[in-house]
Copies of this chain bind each other. A is one copy, B any other.
Amino acid sequence: MIEALALPRNEDGISAALGILKQRFGDRFQTGQAIRDQHGHTTTWIPTQAPDAVVFPDSTEEVAEIVKTCAEYRVPVIAYGTGTSLEGHVNAPAGGVCIDLTQMDKVLAVNAGDLDCRVQPGVTREDLNTHLRDQGLFFPIDPGANASLGGMAATRASGTNAVRYGTMKDNVIALEAVMPDGTVIRTGQRARKSSAGYDLTRLLVGAEGTLGIITELTLRLQGIPEAISAARCSFPSVRDAAEAVMAVIQYGVPVARIELVDTLAIKAFNAYSKLDLPETCMLLLEFHGSEAGVVEQAETFGEIAKETGGTGYQAATTPEERNRLWKARHDAYWAIRQLRPGTMGISTDVCVPISRLAECVGQARDKLDELGLIGPIVGHAGDGNFHVALLIDMEDADEVARAETYVGWLNELAISMDGTCTGEHGIGQGKKPYLVKELGPATRFMSAIKVALDPDNIMNPGKILPD
């Protein structure tokens, strides 16, 4: 069984803080086992470590109040958005208070002229995009899950169209956050660029709630493109498909999405979504631009695909065709789970320089067979990022052990290729040993920052950094 280290609990402090918060928040303070378990529930094989209580604030001031109380009694504080993170980020290994931010779900301002907006952290990406649609704007980061924007910032999320629009680090202009002592700060103003002091915005993005709790985000928006088109193309192997991706990036085609789906994942899509896609490795693409621009991009890709052994290239320009093509990809999680019902789905998240992608994904594919594991592969290939969705029978200790071996082997393979163990999911509890392998002495300075800003280690303890 995968371990999740419990940390020492400050029982007296927890008891005192809970008493105060219960008094203050009434019904918005909950300690029932079910709600606690739900808030410590992880989506992977890391066991649940429930917090002692869950509070539902509805303003920055209330978050600051909770943090001040917890700071006074040295009680852990864990921020919670939609609970879709994948590395045990919401676990409470030392107990403490979970701050559920779902009631802070307002879009506070949309500045269409500046292509930016201000939102509370509990707004989900789908809600934001629904809100923006009438103004011809959208927020491009799409990690798949309908995650909260605060959580997406905290894990430095990205997803299918990061290849064109970047990740959360590139699309957060500024943050408001409650720091570990309860101080509310703003990390920047609304200008599109700034050289004013240390980049606290980018420090909090990806800090997984260990340095402060994000209470407001100023986000960069995009105009909805004049034209969007999609295409798909089959390849004999993941290596061939990855070669085509490498060519697309090197050629500088500004694709908005270029997703790799392996044979097993295609089979899952066909079964789940009742499609008849050719059962071999495939690339799914989306092009954004002017009417002429997307045609040009699609043509360029068509030529690249031909040169790299692609077959069955199909372009789709109407929304209906496009939606059909992308529906399978969006349903990937459910489709893949259905390949082997009753098993646990574990997603790896390595990301390598694009020139190493074919080699990395090819080896990742071969190693599955060697270890006798089932793991369809889907990937944001334009970034060099792909996920092996391991389907593990958690009752089979030997299979679990082989899966652990696989995950460690793949993380180390990516690191040896000058890549990272996590392209977009974060370190959380699950990848702590690999962070040290990847960045070595740099992690010592991360720890120094953590100690300086959070000397009592109350902000999401037990995540990211070596214990």
Contact = CB atoms under 8 A, between A and B. Distances in A.
Looking at A207, A435, A452, A453, the one whose CB has the most chain B CB atoms below 10 A away is A452
A354 B183 contact: no
Interface string A438-467: 111111111011111100000000001100
Interface in A183-205: 183-200, 202-203, 205
Contacts of A203: 198-199, 202-203, 449
Nearest to A464: B197
Contacts of A115: 249-250, 354
Contacts of A444: 183
A84 interface: no
A292 interface: yes
Interface stretch (A40-48, A326-334, A412-420): A412-420
Interface string A331-365: 00000000000000000010111110000000000
A190 B383 contact: no
A403 B352 CA distance: 51
Contacts of A252: 222-223, 225
Given A203-B199, A296-B292, A449 B446 contact: no
Contact of A438 (B162, B189, B385, B440): B189
B162 A193 contact: yes
A267 interface: no
A412 to B, nearest CB: 12
A190 B439 contact: no
Interface stretch (A6-14, A277-285, A388-396, A422-430): A422-430
A158 B445 CA distance: 27
Given A191-B384, A424-B193, A453-B449, A355 B185 contact: no
Contact of A353 (B116, B162, B421): B116
A257 interface: no
A30 interface: no
A246 interface: yes
B448 A453 contact: yes
Contact of A192 (B187, B197, B384, B453): B384
A171 B145 CA distance: 28
Contact of A197 (B195, B197, B418, B439): B439
A404 interface: no
A206 interface: yes
A9 to B, nearest CB: 26
Interface string A208-252: 000100000000001101000000000000000000001001111
A387 interface: no
Given A115-B250, A448-B453, A193 B158 contact: yes
Contacts of A114: 353-355
A156 interface: yes
Nearest to A415: B189
Contact of A445 (B200, B250, B384): B200
A463 to B, nearest CB: 10
Looking at A183, A225, A434, A465, the one whose CB has the most chain B CB atoms below 10 A away is A183
B199 A169 contact: yes
Looking at A184, A195, A419, the one whose CB has the most chain B CB atoms below 10 A away is A195
Contact of A351 (B162, B179, B193, B384): B193
Given A115-B354, A189-B418, A223-B250, 20 more contacts: A183-B445, A184-B441, A185-B439, A185-B441, A187-B442, A190-B419, A192-B351, A193-B351, A193-B423, A194-B351, A195-B206, A195-B425, A196-B431, A196-B439, A197-B464, A198-B206, A200-B442, A290-B296, A292-B293, A449-B453
13 contacts: A113-B355, A114-B353, A114-B355, A115-B249, A155-B195, A157-B195, A169-B199, A186-B440, A192-B351, A192-B353, A196-B421, A197-B442, A197-B465
